[in-house]
Amino acid sequence: MHYTGTIWRPPYEASSMLLEVTSGCTHHRCKFCTLYEDLPFQFKMTPLEIIKSDLKEARAQLRLFKDAQVSRTFLTGANPFVLKAPRLLEIADLIRQYLPECRTIGCFSRVTDIAMKTDEDLLQLHTAGYDCITIGIETGDDEALKFMDKGYLSEDILIQCRRLEQAGIHYHFFYLTGISGAGKGGKGAKATAAICNQLHPLIIGASMLTIYPSSKLYTEIQKGNWQEETELEKYKELKTLVQNLQNPVWFGALGASNPIPIEGTLPKEKQKILTLLDKIIKTVSEEELQHYRKNLKHL
């Protein structure tokens, strides 16, 4: 199988087959992000011949294991959904050709990638099996979105995710705890909940902001233009988010950026999650959490 650089996938895609169709990010401007700095380029599209070769290899490997099947494929790269609809449909056809048992196809997407597609494109992609797309919305706080140079605002999240819903494509969100900065976490959490409550994500996964010296955000901090939340502030922010979420959704903070794993279904397990967050805030010291953050060499 061909993979370029570090391969990122959400925790809930652990059982999916990973197929590289792009590498790198088309936007590459978010001030906090260092995920693709190991690549010598911003974005590349994988040639179809390599995709075919990988699918052939996957099929051959599956034959070695009795009854082994691939029910879901996750396309790797920062935002494969940026590819034009005909290319994504061609990839879906190839997956079905080599892995006919595969039922759904997922990938990362930027909000702007959805905007590039017509309603008819989205309907065709849904029919082809694209479902449960993961979108790193980060926050519903427009001030933070502008400062971090995300390339969209909260209203765009609403517009484009409603278009996915109309096409029948389910989606998951990633929230970035700490993105609003010191003293603004509660505001950011409430703004995000207000956006999520108007939509229907199946999953909201939370990651905690970890700032590395190679990021643009680190430079902004050195210039005095932005201040990071404390680690305990981040947990208070998470608590505010969970308190204000109203729609049924699975909520999890499970990635390496989260010192303490948290997960549960809302609203059924809301109190369980809030109780855990209260316990963390009351019993875990800032020093312990800072030690974890400072020793997190890679996300």
Q: Is the pLDDT of residue 67 over 80?
A: no
Q: Are residues 181 and 274 in the same domain?
A: yes
Share of the chain above pLDDT 70, in %: 100
Give the mean pLDDT of 4-10: 92
Q: Are residues 148 and 65 in the same domain?
A: no
27 confidence band (pLDDT: 50, 70, 90): very high
Q: Are residues 167 and 98 in the same domain?
A: no
Q: How many domains does the chain fold into?
A: 2
pLDDT digits over 192-249, tens only?
A: 999 999 999 999 999 999 999 999 999 999 999 999 999 999 999 999 999 999 999 9
Q: Are residues 185 and 108 in the same domain?
A: no
> How confident is the model at residue 77, as a pLDDT?
95
Query: Where among 91, 113, 131 does a domain terminate?
Result: 131
Rounded CA-CA distance 176/191 in Å is 13
Report the CATH number that the domain containing residue 215 is assigned in CATH.
3.30.750.200
Residues whose CB is less than 8 angstroms from the CB of residue 4 and which lie 6 or more positions away in sequence, other chains included: 20, 23, 24, 39, 44
Q: Are residues 81 and 181 in the same domain?
A: no
Residues whose CB is less than 8 angstroms from the CB of residue 170 and which lie 6 or more positions away in sequence, other chains included: 131, 132, 133, 164, 202
Give the mean pLDDT of 65-83: 93
Q: In the chain, where do the E strands start and end?
A: 17-20, 22-24, 43-45, 72-76, 104-109, 133-138, 171-177, 203-208, 249-253, 262-266
186 confidence band (pLDDT: 50, 70, 90): very high
Average pLDDT, the chain: 96
Q: Are residues 4 and 45 in the same domain?
A: yes
Q: Are residues 5 and 143 in the same domain?
A: no
Query: Where among 79, 109, 131 does a domain terminate?
Result: 131
pLDDT digits over 267-293, tens only?
A: 999 999 999 999 999 999 999 999 999
Q: Is the peptide bond before 261 cis (omega within 30 degrees of 0)?
A: no
Q: Which domain holds residue 124?
A: 1-131
Q: Is the pLDDT of residue 66 over 80?
A: no
Q: How many residues are there in the chain?
A: 299
Report the CATH number that the domain containing residue 116 is assigned in CATH.
3.30.750.210
> How confident is the model at residue 65, as a pLDDT?
84
Cα–Cα distances in Å, from 73 out to 50, 94, 169? 16, 12, 15
Query: Where among 83, 114, 131 does a domain terminate?
Result: 131
Q: Are residues 145 and 259 in the same domain?
A: yes
> How confident is the model at residue 38, as a pLDDT?
87
pLDDT digits over 95-142, tens only?
A: 999 999 999 999 999 999 999 999 999 999 999 999 999 999 999 999
> How confident is the model at residue 41, as a pLDDT?
85
